[in-house]
Amino acid sequence: MLTDWMQLAVTRAKKAGVATYQNPQVGAVLVKDGQVLAQGYHHYFGGDHAEVDVLRQVTSEQAKDATLVVTLEPCSHYGKTPPCCERIVQAGIRKVVIGQLDPHPVVGGKGCQYLLDHDVAVVTGCLAKEVRALNPHYNHFYTHQRPWVTLKTAMSLDGKTNAAGDARTLISNQASYADSQRLRSQFQAILIGERTLTIDDPQLTVRLLAMTHPPVRLIVLNTSAVARDRRILQETTGETWLLCRQASASDASLQALPNVEVRIGDWTPAAISELCLQHGWQSLLVEGGAHLQADFVAANLIDEWVSYIAPTMIGGAGLPAVMGAVPTEQLAFEQPTLKWLGTDLRLRAVRKGVE
């Protein structure tokens, strides 16, 4: 029965989707005398945690001596909300079944210990694999102290991402476009390089979904002057960060724009990863271009590859995907998953050993 109840909690957790932002998706089920009394989940970033959501649905008498089944270890610290562990103890919960310990250093193990110290029985590891799959970016961020990095490409059958020259080449179909928008919505930061900015002039927004916390837009440039008059600076939903290698006379005026940050530095993949760590951006989607993606491959900072492959050939001097990437070691991936999007094929592969 515990696995059935945990499966219910997993299903509830998924209802929130990306609304939890930098918080994990968490589901909870309250059980007493073999009957499910309530099901809840963490609805949105800064809102009630799943445990509180469940307890709000029952009376104090119902909660007393009940069993709480929750996908992630209850918190024991004051953050945007009070500690869930205190609420659980106050409610008279007799037993807590936990799918996964929280990898966040502020929580990890402390929630369980608080419950045990207050005579609440604790069971851990229930449906651990299914529960961990709820929050891969969150888990990776706090386990490895860096963001989950995904490279995204749209390419032809012969592995080209753009024809020769400085004009944008449209490769993917509308179904792939819509799918790539959904992919963007799952990341907290999106990264492109200077060539992608000047050729594609992208907005880097999630246009098919309404988001309270849209991805931060990161652009690696030689100088900020390159970004002048680009559409991306007109976007006021979310933030745009210009990561420049050299200072420029345009820095001050662009920095004064709404939601624009200008930073000067040696923007290697490691430095970009550290920037994400400092700001709590748990996932990074590297959309382009080929040289920037190659730098991440060479630095072994890649956890996932998503490629949209169109049934066309560009040939000749077309720009290849991940141009000139020379990783220091062979990168092995798990069995890819494939999905047809009309005539296009989406290939997704996660690097072996990533968790």
**Nearby residues of 101 by Cβ (< 8 Å), 6 or more positions away:** 73, 108, 109, 112, 124
Tokens of 318: 């077309």
CA-to-CA dists, residue 300 to 188, 279, 327, 345, 349, angstroms:
20, 22, 6, 26, 15
Tokens of 260: 């624009």
**Nearby residues of 168 by Cβ (< 8 Å), 6 or more positions away:** 162, 199, 200
Q: Which one from 51, 73, 194, 287 is the annotated catalytic residue?
A: 51
Instruction: State how far the Cα of 289 lies from the Cα of 155, in Å rounded to an integer.
Output: 12
The answer to whether the CB of 10 falls within 8 A of the CB of 127 is yes
**Nearby residues of 110 by Cβ (< 8 Å), 6 or more positions away:** 76, 77
Tokens of 177: 């476009």
287 a catalytic residue: no
DSSP class of 206 = -
Tell which residue, 28, 15, 33, 129, has the closest CA to residue 71. Answer: 28
The residues annotated with a catalytic role in the active site are 51
